[in-house]
Amino acid sequence: MPRTELFPPLDPYQTGLLQVDAIHTLYWEQSGNPRGVPVVFLHGGPGAGASPTHRRFFDPSHYRIVIMDQRGAGRSTPLGEIRDNTTDHLIADLEQLRTELGIERWHVFGGSWGSTLGLAYAQAHPKRCISLMLRGIFLMRRSEIQWFLYHMRTIFPEAWANFSNFLPAEERGDLLESYYRRLTGSDYGMRMAAARVWSVYEGACSTLLPSPELLSASGEDTHALGLARIEAHYFRNNLFTPENRLLEGLGRIRGIPAVIVQGRYDIVCPIATADELHRAWPEADYVIVPDAGHSAMEPGIRAALVAATEKFKHLA
């Protein structure tokens, strides 16, 4: 039987800071086998940052596990910084880190926004990718952003009411612009209040069954500020041109072994997007988890992701 449980907790054997420009310094770490097959973990959000649990998707005896907090996220500085923060910047950062660590090729593992960045990176640098392991597919199109802002209320009306009602009634016609003003304003207290409400809204909609642990983590200051500010920034300013760029660029990556893992009841990134990606990219394995929502930590999603990392061990 293939392994489906997370690997035991482990500490990094190396950590560092990578200064990528005059503004941004990025946290990175390596764990597992220093002589193993490299894999890079791309966190979600954008802006969510990585956690120690994310190391545990990978067999530490086989993989050289590389994790980086993207611009403005987690342990990278400045926290929540949106200047010079675009998808193209993040792709360039990955290449700079890969070169810095002396890695020729690596597996690419990412969920939610990490699936977006993984696809964009692979299409820009296909020869650097051993495989793609993608979860909770998000292609950053207007329809998906509108779903997040307005239509998740069809399933989570209470969570959406809290999200919407944070704003004055006269500002609820454009939730993104109203939140963006608060998240980028000079009032720190207002920035943090808006960030917590935004982040908890996303957390409340991310699991099939309520998760008090996820809600608590969603309200934590560092996570909330990085996630909310950078998500609002990306949703407002960083749509792809053309909007279907990631679908139209699949020809560049068809030869890369890939797996798509998707929760049937994912409300944050609904399955219709993953299905559309799979139909355009039938070469990729497609795993629908029948009893899961969005979070990578749900048991079925977790098991499918570990199974994917085990399956691709033969690739180097």
Q: Which of 112, 178, 211, 218 is catalytic?
A: 112
| Active-site position among 223, 233, 278, 294 | 294
Q: What is the DSSP letter of 244?
A: T
Token representation of residue 248: 């139209």
Rounded-to-integer distance, Cα 88 and Cα 10, Å: 31
To the query of whether residue 178 is one of the catalytic residues in this protein, the response is: no
Q: HSE, CB side, 13 Å, CA atoms: give it for residue 137.
A: 25
Cα distance between residue 9 and residue 11, in whole Å: 7
57: left (phi over 0), alpha (psi -120 to 50) or beta: alpha
Residue with token string 């909007």? 243
Asked about 112 being catalytic, the answer comes back as: yes
Q: Which of 43, 233, 266, 278 is catalytic?
A: 266
Active-site residue, 275 included: no
* Residue 32 to residues 7, 17, 64, Cα–Cα distance (Å): 11, 19, 5
Name the residues annotated as catalytic.
Answer: 112, 266, 294
